[in-house]
C-alpha cells in the first residue's frame, strides 16, 4: 500500500513519540538514580538491517549515537533468521556497546505476521557492576567489573535466570542491578506494543517505505546543510589533565561538498588507566558536535549520521583497543564536541561556543573499607559552566554535551548517610568577554555519622581550564579538596577522613569575544 507524503510525515512523528514513550518508561522504572533522576539513558527503534530510524529526545548523545552502531553487532551475534518472538539480547561490551561496562544495552526484535519488522534498543547506566568501582583506577578492563558478551537475555519469553544470577553476584547493589535489567526489558516491550499499534492504524506490513522516507529526507537535508558551509580543512588542539600526565587532543575537520570528515591523528596514545575511549564513543560525541554546529534541526538517525566520517589512529586515547581500561571514558569523550567547535569556529564562528567544562563532574561515593554503619555506593552527577555562545552567555552548572541533569541532594541524602552542607553557584567562575561563560558550582559534603568515606574522583579541567575564544577569558579551573585545605587529586579513589568535609568546585565556561571598554 502506497502512502502520501503527509501520511509518511504523520507516521514519522508517531514513531518519534513511540521512542520517547519507550525512554520515559525506562526512566520511570529504573532503579539507578543516575537514570531515574538524571536521564542517563538512550532509546531508539531500528530497521531489520540495524539502521536507526528514530531516537528518543530523552537521553544522552553518547548513549544514543554509540547504541546506533551497537544494533549491527547484535544482528551479527544473533542473525535475524534465529530470532523469534519473546527473545531479547544484552551486552555491556564497551567496544560494541556504549563505551564502558556500566552501560547495559538491551535489544528486542519485533515481529508482525511472523516477520521481523523492527528492533528496539535501549541503554541505561548501572550504578555498580563490581570490580574496583566506577572510577579511573583500573589498569585494564578486567579490573573494572563484570563483562557481558552478547547474550540472550530472553528466550521465547523466558528470562535467562542464570545470567541474572551472575549479574547480581558481581555487584555491590544486586537489587538495583536486577531491577535495572527488567526496566530495560520493559521499556523495549512498551515500544514494541506501541509500534504494532501504529502499524495496525496505518495498515503497514513492514517499515521499509517509512524507513526509505526517513533516510532519504534526513540524508538530503544533511547534505544541503553541509553544502552551504565553506569547504576546507581546519585544525584544533586541546590539552587536558589526563590521569598522571597531560593528554593532547588534536582534530582535523574537513568539509567537503556532501560530507564532513573528522580525524584525530596526532592525539595522545592510550594510557594505563581508565580514561581511554573506545572508537564508538568517540564517534558518538564527535557526530553530536557536528550535528549541533551544522544542522541542529535535522533528526538524528542513520540517514543524517551517514554524512560524517570520523576516524582516529588505533591505540590513541580516542581509539583505545581491548582490553584497555575505559571506565570513565566520558572524561575525554565528552570533550570532543569542543574539538569540533574549535575547528568549525574558524569557518562558521557564529555557530560555535567557547570551551566549557564539557565532561560531567560525576561524584561516586562509597563507604570506606572497615567503616561502621551503612554500606553504600552512589554516583551523583554534577556539572560546571558551559562556554559562552554566539550572541548569548554560557549556562550555569549545566551538563553539555551530555544533557544529564544534576542529581538532587535530597536523593543522595535519602539513600546514603551523606549530608550536603553546600550546593551553590560559584560566582565569577565563568570567563569574561563580550559574552560570559557559565558559572560552575561549589558542593560541600560529609558523612552524617562521622565515618570515613571514599570519593572515586574522575574530574578534569583542573590543570587546564576551559579556554575562552576570540578574546574571551578562560573559565576558572576546577578544584577538589577538604574543608581543612587538604588538596585531593582530580582522578583516583581517595579517602575522606572522619570529621572532614569534601569540597568540590566545578569549572566555569570560557568567555566569547573581547568585552569592549565602557565609553
**Per-residue model confidence (pLDDT) at position 80:** 97
Tell me if the pTM is above 0.75.
yes
Q: How many CA atoms lie within 13 Å of 130's alpha carbon, on the beta-carbon side? A: 14
DSSP state of 337: H
Encode pLDDT of 305-363 as tens digits.
999 999 999 999 999 999 999 999 999 999 999 999 999 999 999 999 999 999 999 99
**Per-residue model confidence (pLDDT) at position 415:** 95
Nearest to 77 by CA among 115, 110, 50, 100: 50
**Per-residue model confidence (pLDDT) at position 3:** 84
Nearest to 296 by CA among 348, 387, 222: 222
Would the pLDDT of 404 be above 80?
yes
Q: What angle do CA 505, 354, 346 make, to 5 degrees?
A: 155
Place of cell 588542539: 237
Nearest-angstrom CA–CA distance, 236 and 249: 8
List CB contacts of 387: < 8 A, sequence separation 6 or more: 338, 341, 353, 354, 355, 356, 394, 437, 438, 466, 469, 475, 509, 510, 512
**Per-residue model confidence (pLDDT) at position 253:** 98
Would the pLDDT of 517 be above 80?
no
Would the pLDDT of 519 be above 90?
no
**Per-residue model confidence (pLDDT) at position 188:** 98
All three cell numbers of 230, joined, read 565553506
Q: How many CA atoms lie within 13 Å of 13's alpha carbon, on the beta-carbon side? A: 6
Nearest to 314 by CA among 254, 281, 362, 270: 270
**Per-residue model confidence (pLDDT) at position 516:** 65
Would the pLDDT of 518 be above 50?
no
Q: Residue 23 belongs to what H/E stretch?
A: helix 5-29
Would the pLDDT of 302 be above 90?
yes
Confidence of residue 1 (pLDDT cuts 50, 70, 90): low
Instruction: Sheet containing 440-447: give its strands across.
Output: 418-426, 440-447, 502-505, 479-482
Encode pLDDT of 219-251 as tens digits.
999 999 999 999 999 999 999 999 999 999 999
Stretch 57-66: mean pLDDT, rounded? 93
For 47-157, strand residue ranges (E) read 52-55, 88-91, 103-112, 115-125, 151-155
Q: Is 99 left (phi over 0), alpha (psi -120 to 50) or beta?
A: left
3-state secondary structure of 27: helix
Confidence of residue 514 (pLDDT cuts 50, 70, 90): confident
Stretch 447-460: mean pLDDT, rounded? 97
Encode pLDDT of 160-188 as tens digits.
999 999 999 999 999 999 999 999 999 99
DSSP string spanning 301-319?
SHHHHTTEEEE--TTBTTS
List CB contacts of 29: < 8 A, sequence separation 6 or more: 179, 182, 183, 186, 187
Nearest to 249 by CA among 330, 338, 140, 309: 338
Nearest-angstrom CA–CA distance, 337 and 395: 16
List CB contacts of 245: < 8 A, sequence separation 6 or more: none
- Each domain of the chain, given as residue ranges in start order, spans 5-218, 353-519
Percent of the chain with pLDDT over 70: 99
All three cell numbers of 146, joined, read 563484570
**Per-residue model confidence (pLDDT) at position 371:** 85
Amino acid at each position: 500500500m502506497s502512502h502520501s507524503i503527509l501520511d509518511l510525515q504523520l507516521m514519522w512523528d508517531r514513531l518519534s513519540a513511540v521512542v520517547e514513550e519507550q525512554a520515559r518508561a525506562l526512566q520511570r522504572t529504573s532503579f539507578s538514580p543516575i537514570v531515574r533522576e538524571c536521564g542517563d539513558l538512550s532509546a531508539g527503534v531500528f530497521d531489520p538491517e540495524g539502521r536507526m530510524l528514530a531516537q528518543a529526545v530523552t537521553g544522552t548523545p553518547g548513549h544514543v549515537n554509540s547504541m546506533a552502531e551497537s544494533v549491527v553487532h547484535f544482528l551479527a551475534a544473533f542473525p535475524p533468521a534465529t530470532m523469534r518472538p519473546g527473545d531479547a539480547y544484552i551486552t555491556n561490551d564497551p567496544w560494541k556497546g556504549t563505551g564502558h561496562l556500566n552501560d547495559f544495552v538491551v535489544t528486542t526484535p519485533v515481529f508482525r505476521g511472523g516477520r521481523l519488522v523492527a528492533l528496539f534498543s535501549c541503554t541505561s547506566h548501572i550504578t555498580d557492576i563490581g570490580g574496583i568501582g566506577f572510577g579511573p583506577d583500573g589498569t585494564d578492563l578486567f579490573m573494572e567489573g563484570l563483562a557481558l558478551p552478547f547474550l540472550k537475555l530472553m528466550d521465547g519469553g523466558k528470562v535467562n535466570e542464570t545470567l541474572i544470577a551472575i549479574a547480581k553476584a558481581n555487584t555491590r547493589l544486586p537489587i538495583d542491578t536486577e531491577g535495572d535489567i527488567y526496566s530495560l526489558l520493559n521499556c523495549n516491550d512498551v515500544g514494541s506494543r506501541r509500534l504494532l499499534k501504529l502499524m495496525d492504524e496505518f495498515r503497514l506490513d513492514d517499515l521499509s517505505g517509512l524507513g526509505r522516507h526517513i533516510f532519504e529526507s534526513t540524508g538530503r537535508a544533511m547534505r544541503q546543510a553541509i553544502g552551504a558551509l565553506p569547504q576546507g580543512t581546519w585544525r584544533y588542539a586541546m590539552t587536558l589533565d589526563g590521569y598522571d600526565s597531560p593528554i593532547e587532543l588534536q582534530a582535523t575537520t574537513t568539509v567537503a561538498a556532501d560530507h564532513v570528515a573528522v580525524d584525530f591523528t596526532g592525539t595522545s596514545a592510550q594510557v594505563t588507566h581508565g580514561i581511554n575511549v573506545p572508537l564508538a564513543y568517540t564517534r558518538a560525541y564527535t557526530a553530536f558536535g557536528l550535528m549541533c554546529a551544522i544542522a541542529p534541526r535535522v533528526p538524528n538517525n542513520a540517514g543524517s549520521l551517514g554524512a560524517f566520517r570520523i576516524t582516529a589512529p588505533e591505540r590513541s586515547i580516542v581509539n583505545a583497543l581491548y582490553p584497555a581500561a575505559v571506565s570513565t571514558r566520558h572524561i575525554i569523550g565528552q570533550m570532543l564536541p569542543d574539538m569540533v567547535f574549535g575547528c568549525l569556529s574558524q569557518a562558521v564562528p557564529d555557530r560555535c561556543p567557547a570551551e566549557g567544562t564539557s565532561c560531567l563532574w560525576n561524584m561516586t561515593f562509597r563507604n570506606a573499607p572497615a567503616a561502621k554503619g551503612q554500606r553504600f555506593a552512589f554516583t551523583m552527577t554534577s556539572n560546571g559552566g558551559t562556554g559562552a555562545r554566539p550572541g548569548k552567555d554560557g549556562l550555569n552548572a549545566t551538563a553539555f554535551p551530555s544533557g544529564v541533569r544534576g542529581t538532587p541532594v535530597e536523593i543522595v541524602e535519602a539513600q546514603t548517610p551523606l549530608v550536603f552542607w553546600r550546593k551553590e553557584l560559584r560566582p565569577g567562575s565563568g570567563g569574561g568577554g563580550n559574552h560570559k561563560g557559565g558559572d560552575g558550582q561549589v558542593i560541600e559534603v560529609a558523612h552524617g555519622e562521622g565515618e570515613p568515606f571514599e570519593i572515586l574522583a574522575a574530574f578534569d579541567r583542573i590543570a587546564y581550564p576551559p579556554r575562552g575564544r576570540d578574546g574571551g577569558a578562560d573559565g576558572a579551573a576546577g578544584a577538589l579538596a577538604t574543608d581543612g585545605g587538604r588538596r585531593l587529586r582530580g582522578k583516583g579513589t581517595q579517602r575522606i577522613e572522619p570529621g572532614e568535609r569534601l569540597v568540590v568546585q566545578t569549572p566555569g565556561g570560557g568567555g566569547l569575544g573581547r568585552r569592549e571598554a565602557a565609553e
